[in-house]
Amino acid sequence: MASIISNERPQPDQVLTDIVDYVQNYKIDSKVAWRTAFYCFLDTLGCGFEALTYPACTKLLGPVVPGTIVPNGAKVPGTSYQLDPIQAAFNIGAIIRWLDFNDTWLAAEWGHPSDNLGGILATADWLSRTRIANGEKPLKTKEVLEAMIMAHEIQGVLALENSFNKVGLDHVLLVKIASTAVVGKLLGLSRDELINAVSLAFVDGQSLRTYRHAPNTGSRKSWAAGDATSRAVRLALIAKTGEMGYPSVLSAPVWGFYDVSFKSQAFKFQRPYGSYVMENVLFKISFPAEFHSQTAVEAAMQLHEQLKEIGKTAADIARITIRTHEAAIRIIDKKGPLHNPADRDHCIQYMIAVPLIFGRLTAEDYENHVAEDSQIDILREKMNCVEDTQFTTDYHDPEKRAIANALTVELIDGTVLSEVLVEYPIGHPRRREEGIPKLIEKYRINLARIFEEKQQKEILSATLDFDTFIAQDVNQLVDLMVK
């Protein structure tokens, strides 16, 4: 005989209340977190500006109904669009993620915490313009950075011990959860309303990872985060109306998230919420490549120079051994045809072949006109990935969080080049001092892709100094960045 499930309304799941209490009560006092969030903002929008040079991205942008302009709506940086905050969040989130060039967090689950900026910036800008229209004060950009630090923390801490990819769910689920929490705070939700909002995000339909993996890898992976962060804004606004939530959305027998989507396992936590994730986030600085391959690309660039020095080219290579970690093998070790740019930037062999042949790896190198070069597929077929269990251990070690790759090249004449090992990519916290100047250079280059020189100077004047940046009104900063 089936057991009877009690219909007594339970107290909210601890996971919900921990998130909400963190967002509403935690005071961020880490100078490292504030500074890193500042650089993260610049880099994230810069990635969006580069994406605006790709028609495959821009065709998705703008209002749902062409020609719609929302009074006091949020503006989309790099464009002339002014939209409702939900659609603006989608637009900003899509450009941020399009080229796989924004920050990364690697743990039991992976993801890109700056994806949350889509919902954060859209909401903050819309609120600021609405407040001004009502004779009130707008938000300051420091509040945007605070929301970024908290969104990074929620997404990253949930990812430390909980692998959503192993149950087939995509990491943008965590963007939806984190964005809902911090957007709800910006909207002024009460504690009960915010608990309701986060519960709505968990009960929502969650994305499958289908679009990230063979044989279906496709461009949805480039706008999935925009979809998630915009959905978060929608759910937070629904909760603001007083709409009810679902307190045991995670733990409810049979119908809760754990039983339905997480193999009946409760979430595990390594640490409480603070500012750890922003302090330790990984920047993609040199290469627009899936992060598990960043060190492999650095190694390939070094080998390209070595080949030149001895008068050889990629055509002289007989085989390449890629010593790597388990996550890279699971996600980006691919044989056979690659069907589109999204497929190529998730193939470690492709991301090694291009720099070995051409001495570069840019977003343009994933496009068809480059991929059609037969040298690339010929070289891909000469590569073999093998797991180094120590690399996998160091990848999960919270004191290291290494993302090591090592390449050994054997030439057709029998020569074996010394293995090139790179443990930490330039965007890693252990290489911050080396990386930040290059991050700023990347930001300047991306501004130049979109804006005339006069506007570039105005933007740089407003954004390169931390104290100047945090004192600005959100709407004023965004106005500097629109077309």
Q: Residue 320 — φ and ψ, nearest 5°?
A: -135, 130
Pairing of strands 317-324, 420-422: unpaired
Matching residue, tokens 């915490």: 113
Are the CB atoms for 120 and 148 separated by under 8 Å?
yes
Q: Is 212:347 a contact under the CB 8 Å cutoff?
A: no
The token pair at 216 is 């279906």
Structure-block tokens of residue 434: 């080396």
In order, the DSSP letters of 320-334 are EEEEE-HHHHHHH--
Q: What is the pLDDT of residue 395?
A: 92
Confidence (pLDDT) at 8: 86
Q: What pLDDT, in 10s, does the model give residues 367-390?
A: 999 999 999 999 999 999 999 999
> How high is the pLDDT of residue 12?
98
Contact 291, 435 (CB under 8 A): no
Q: Which of 240, 227, 249, 106 is nearest to 175 (CA)?
A: 227
What confidence tens digit (pLDDT) does each residue in 94-105 have? 999 999 999 999
Query: Residue 416 gets which letter from DSSP?
Result: B
Could you count the other beta carbons within 10 Å of the beta carbon of residue 462?
16
- Angle ∠(172,178,181) on CA atoms, nearest 5: 145
CA distance 176 to 182: 10
Structure confidence at residue 5 (pLDDT): 72
- 190 burial level (CB within 10 Å; 0-12, 13-18, 19+): middle
Buried b / exposed e over 328-362, threshold 16 CB at 10 Å, is: bbebbbbeeebeebbbbbbbbbbbbbbbbbbeebb
* Per-run averaged pLDDT (10 residues), the chain, 483 residues: 74 98 98 98 98 97 95 97 98 96 92 98 98 98 98 98 96 98 98 98 96 92 97 98 98 97 97 97 92 96 97 97 96 94 95 98 96 97 98 92 96 97 95 96 98 98 98 98 97
Q: Render the burial of 277-293: b for 16+ CB within 10 Å, e for the rest.
A: bbbbbbbbbbbbbbbbb
- Cis bond leading into 215, ω under 30°? yes
pLDDT score, position 2: 55
Tell me whether residue 125 is exposed, middle or buried, using C-beta atoms within 10 angstroms of its C-beta: 0 to 12, 13 to 18, 19 or more. buried
pTM of the model: 0.91
Q: What pLDDT score does 1 carry?
A: 45
- Predicted local confidence at residue 3, as pLDDT: 65
Using the structure block, give the residue that is written with the tokens 């949020």: 74
CA distances from 279 to 44, 65, 132, 426 (A): 16, 40, 33, 15
Q: Is 254 exposed, middle or buried (0-12, 13-18, 19+ CB in 10 A)?
A: exposed
Question: Residue 398's pLDDT is what?
Answer: 84
